[in-house]
């Protein structure tokens, strides 16, 4: 359970999760896991199905509160019980199934739950469309279909809507759940570019992924989970893919680093 919190850099991590536990009935989905994330860093969270990666991230996102443990944002202990709580701390999630309402257009999705309103309390669709256009210009200049339901968009475009939602509201901490799982090669490349750009803006990213290539391309550090426990967190440059695979499959941390 030896985590790499507070390393040589000495800076306060964006997020620190300490000894998080979540159980469903008798099952310990997350069993005493500690993780940290610094600004401009990508930490990949890997492990087999049911390893507890998604559940752990749900607790950070406010989708499912932890039974015990502590979460610190910028060194301050915070309480995250709902998605709203998470957002007020600058934590945004991009879910595997994208969490977009398919029947609503890009602007409607971008502002879902945080709609801009006019003085009379009506939806200010024009203001939302305009803001959407501006943020999309930054992320994906080819994006045009602001007024069509997102179901008619391509996977990459939908992914950019989901990411735009996080970026527009000044997320500092981003959780990406399998961001490239549903995408073709060109779109995957596009999302990778996007992640590099977000990193350069100082956003910290938790990346949940099954794809070991994605993980090695994008992550700075890799945390491996198995059966609710953290096997270990390793620096990408100091391990081989085989070593990480061994951690995922056997639950063995590489010698000297576990």
Partner 1 sequence: MTDATTIDSGPGATGRLARARTFLSSTGIDTRQAGMVTALVVIWAAFHILSGGDFLTSRNLWNLSVQSASIAVMATGMVLIIVSRNIDLSVGSLLGFLGYVMAMVQTRWIPETFGLGFGHWYIWMVALAVGVVLGALLGAVQGSIVAYGGVPAFIVTLGGFLVWRGLIFRMGEQGQTLSPLDGTFRLIGGGPDGSLGEWRSWLLGILGCVAVSASIYLSRRRRRRYDLAVRPLAVDLGLAAFACAVILVGIAAVAVGYESPITRKPTGVAYPVVILLVVTIGMVYLSRRRRFGRYVFAIGGNPEAAELGGIDTRRTIMKTFVLMGVLCAVSAAIQTARLNSAVTNLGVQNELDVISAAVIGGTSFAGGIGTITGAVLGAVVMQSLRSGMMLLRIDSPSQDIVVGVILVMSVGIDAALRIGRRRSAAAALAIGLVVAAIIIQTGRQ
Q: Is 170 in the site for partner 1 (CB under 8 A)?
A: no
Q: Is 121 in the site for partner 1 (CB under 8 A)?
A: yes
Sole binder of partner 1 in the list 72, 123, 181, 182 (CB under 8 A): 123
Q: Is 185 in the site for partner 1 (CB under 8 A)?
A: no
Sole binder of partner 1 in the list 2, 19, 117, 238 (CB under 8 A): 117
Q: Is 81 in the site for partner 1 (CB under 8 A)?
A: no
Query: Closer CB to partner 1, residue 130 or residue 240?
Result: 130
Q: Is 83 in the site for partner 1 (CB under 8 A)?
A: yes
Q: Which stretch binds partner 1 (CB under 8 A): 5-13, 76-84, 201-209, 240-248?
A: 76-84
Distance CA 253, CA 232 (A): 6
φ/ψ (deg, to 5) at 57: -70, -30
Q: Which stretch binds partner 1 (CB under 8 A): 18-26, 72-80, 91-99, 204-212?
A: 91-99
Sole binder of partner 1 in the list 7, 68, 147, 154 (CB under 8 A): 147
Which positions lie near partner 1, rule CB under 8 A? 61, 63, 82-84, 87, 93, 95, 97-104, 108-109, 112-115, 117, 121-123, 125-127, 129-130, 133, 144-148
């Amino acid at each position: 359970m030896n985590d790499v919190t507070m390393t040589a850099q000495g800076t306060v991590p964006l997020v620190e999760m300490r000894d998080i536990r979540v159980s469903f009935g008798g099952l310990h989905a997350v069993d005493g896991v500690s993780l940290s994330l610094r600004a401009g860093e990508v930490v990949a969270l890997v492990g087999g199905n049911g390893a507890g990666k998604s559940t752990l991230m749900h607790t950070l996102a406010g989708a499912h509160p932890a039974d015990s443990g502590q979460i610190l944002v910028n060194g301050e202990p915070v309480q995250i019980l709902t998605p709203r709580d998470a957002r007020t701390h600058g934590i945004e999630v991009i879910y595997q199934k994208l969490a977009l309402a398919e029947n609503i257009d890009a602007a409607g999705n971008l502002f879902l739950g945080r709609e801009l309103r006019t003085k009379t309390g009506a939806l200010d669709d024009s203001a939302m469309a305009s803001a959407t256009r501006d943020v999309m210009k930054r992320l994906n200049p080819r994006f045009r279909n602001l007024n069509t339901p997102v179901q008619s968009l391509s996977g990459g475009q939908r992914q950019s809507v989901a990411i735009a939602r996080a970026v527009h509201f000044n997320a500092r901490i981003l959780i990406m759940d399998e961001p490239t799982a549903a995408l073709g090669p060109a779109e995957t490349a596009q999302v990778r570019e996007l992640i590099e750009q977000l990193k350069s803006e100082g956003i910290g990213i938790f990346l949940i992924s099954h794809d070991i290539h994605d993980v090695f391309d994008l992550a700075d550090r890799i945390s491996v989970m198995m059966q609710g426990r953290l096997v270990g967190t390793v620096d990408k440059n100091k391990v081989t893919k085989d070593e990480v695979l061994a951690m995922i499959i056997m639950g063995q941390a590489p010698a000297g680093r576990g």
